[in-house]
Amino acid sequence: MTDVLIVGAGPAGLSAAISCAERGLKVTVVDEFMKPGGRLLGQLHQEPNGTWWNGIEESAKLQNKAVSLGVVIKLGVSVYDIKQSADGWIVYTSSGVQEVPALLLATGAAETAAPIPGWTLPGVMSIGAAQVMTNVHRVRVGMRGIIVGINVLSIAIARELQLAGIDIAAMVLPAKNIINKDAGDPQKVMKSMLRLGHLAPSPILRLGSSLMRYSPLQIWGLRLYPKHGFKIWGIPIQLRKAALAIEGEEIVESVQLADVTPDGEIAAHSTRSVPVDFVCMAGSLYPLAELAAVAGCPFRFVPELGGHVPLHNAQMQTPLNGLFVAGNITGIESAKVAAAQGTVAGISIAAFHKASGTDVELQRAVEHVWAVRERALIQFPPQVAEGRRHIETMYAEA
């Protein structure tokens, strides 16, 4: 008999499994991927102190600790239905049906598309797919490419591709359309990128980004933005260029670029084609929360958290008895925050099972999540802390 079933073997799910097992619960984790770790598997970056954050190594640490505590991890298993029962939850998976008293959904996030003509050609992929191919499978996605979409995620992964010896010709905006309205607006993209100014590799860029926080300077900054963009790690960040189409007969051969005005409109007579052999489409991330919807959990739309999220409190509880959530299903944040949330969820589940001494532990774990959040170098949606307070208030009101 399993005390808790965890769907998702990413940083949140594995941390929750460890937290539950340390308190004497029998835990099973299922994940449809062939390796545990979730988004951790693709992550590789340098910390401010010079050390490297290697997601594969971090994943292995979590997996080894979970297994040593008796956690059962089943991979290649998909969950396709969830129903509430008198005794808990009935979970329908590709390997059978399981009934458990407590269920944790730690399903993570998914990428939104930023489509332009030609985006279905072979050689076009999401930025997350490029990250996994490069860092997990050690497959070169191409020799020279362009990233369409400038945001927190794409800049981080551009550096990872570069470290793998791949030439990034440029990072550009997608042409504005009904889907790419914000992603193709230079001023909105600039505002979102100013939150990363502290990560700029040059003191001049850091100073410039600090000054650009004032709206009047942002307008002038866009008007005076260099034609070939600013380079970060040698990669041109071109806020005044947009990809109109991806070109090729059977595979990617080039990208049609054009200059854009500060409002994102295409400048006349500025179109040219840049030869490349791959293109990464970089949209945003949104909570992968379909299973919570199937379970009947109420939702709230919180833009600061990335979209619609299951209603939950700081202890990772939903209004449905025995149903918990943790990680990016609750809002888009870093893997470190997701892991801290997983620990909270594990203690909450132990409390649900009447484990003793969890009150103080739970309070400390919640406070730790906030501490990790405040230390985070990168926050994906802006005002994420405000979004967290908002969803907790809505939970209390409900």
Looking at per-residue pLDDT, the higher value among 138 and 309 belongs to 309
- Summarised one tens digit per residue, pLDDT across range 168-198 is 999 999 998 877 777 888 877 877 776 555 4
Write the DSSP symbol of residue 173: E
Asked if residue 3 lies in contact with residue 20, where contact means CB atoms within 8 angstroms, the answer is: yes
What's residue 202's pLDDT? Answer: 47
Could you tell me where the DSSP H helices lie in the chain? Answer: 11-22, 55-68, 127-135, 152-163, 186-193, 203-211, 215-223, 290-294, 335-352, 358-375, 384-397
- Summarised one tens digit per residue, pLDDT across range 267-293 is 888 999 999 999 999 988 899 999 999
Tell me which of 47-51, 103-107, 370-374 is least confident: 47-51
Tell me which of 101-105, 212-216, 307-311 is least confident: 212-216
Segment 340-352 shows an average pLDDT of 97
Segment 99-127 shows an average pLDDT of 93
Banded model confidence at residue 155, pLDDT cuts 50, 70, 90:
confident
Looking at per-residue pLDDT, the higher value among 205 and 130 belongs to 130
Highest mean pLDDT among 34-43, 85-94, 230-239: 85-94
- Tokens at 79, concatenated: 């969950």
Cα–Cα nearest to 230, from 256, 212, 253, 254? 212
Residues pairing with 85 in the sheet: 88
What's residue 153's pLDDT? Answer: 82
Tell me which of 87-101, 201-215, 302-316 is least confident: 201-215
What is the number of alpha carbons within 13 Å of residue 189 lying toward its C-beta? 33
Asked if pLDDT for residue 63 goes beyond 60, the answer is yes
- Tokens at 228, concatenated: 């070939």
Encode burial over 104-129: b for 16+ CB neighbours within 10 A, e otherwise.
bbbbbbebbebbbebbebebbbbbbe
Q: How much of the chain, in percent, has pLDDT values that exceed 70?
A: 89
Element spanning 281, H or E: strand 278-281
